[in-house]
Structure 1
Amino acid sequence: MPQAGLNIGSDYRFDVLTATGLLTLPTLLRFNKKKITNKLTVKPLNTLPIHLSFQEGGWEGTFEVSRADSTLDDYFAALEAAYYAGVNQPSGFIQETIQEIGGNISTYQLQGVVLYFDDAGDVEAEKNVIQKVSFLASTRIKLS
């Protein structure tokens, strides 16, 4: 639900769909995504700089989960076992659903997603364990 005419984190829902099905993240704390672009500045001697942008890199991002169960550990253990068994690992999707200020729903899909288990979490007494995952995606399209 938006507040004061602004989107806030609770307006967003992220569904991670892997080759083995939906990866449920019940304690998603943070999600970050950004477009990968190749930026080039041409610096003519006789005029102002000219900036160019090439859409060739896809998308990248990260998300953090407060560990509440073995979901991420189990997924990446199975992925590692499949890798060493020579099993083909198709890419997945991340679907982003946003409750817009005016009440509409926007849905985007990151396609060709590959996940990386960057940090399985630091374990300390009386602190929650934060697990970190990064991803690369080929493209992001609008579904609705």
Structure 2
Amino acid sequence: MKTFAAFAALAIAAAVAAPAGAATSEIRVSIANKNSVQIENDIKAAAATVCATTSQAYADDCVEGAVMSAHRQLASILRAREAGKTQVAQSVSVVRISLKGKSLDQVHAEIRTAAQTVCKAQPNFSVVTYQACVTDTVRAAKAQLQARVGASA
């Protein structure tokens, strides 16, 4: 993982399982220059340290709550990183298909492949929007083909 800041930190609070009057503890876990396994191990160790002062009956709940809180904070940091990046995705909006010497089935297969290429390059693509995009693009391409064949006749 690239460094977001010198020490992007996760705070693990034990307030979830701690009694109402108890002071909350916090440990910061650095995620700089660490892979996901190292981060996960550090989160678990920090949660165990924070929850070491709780009673044995609440220790497991405390650790579980602290780890979940850290995961939420990590997800928030990663989303913020992704939002700051510029999109480097291809912007394919037009694919040209040669019709010369091809059967109608070959042309239709190439139209479908081209539609899939165009739709995969669209930002915010999901399975539902991708399928709708492919269907609409194939329909539009076939209409263009029909208009072209009709105009040349």
Smaller-chain TM-score range?
under 0.3
TM-score normalised by the chain length of structure 1: 0.21
Higher strand share: 1
Structure number, greater radius of gyration = 2
TM-score relative to the length of structure 2: 0.21
Higher RCO by CA contacts (8 Å cutoff, separation 6 or greater)? 1
Return the structure number with greater helix share.
2
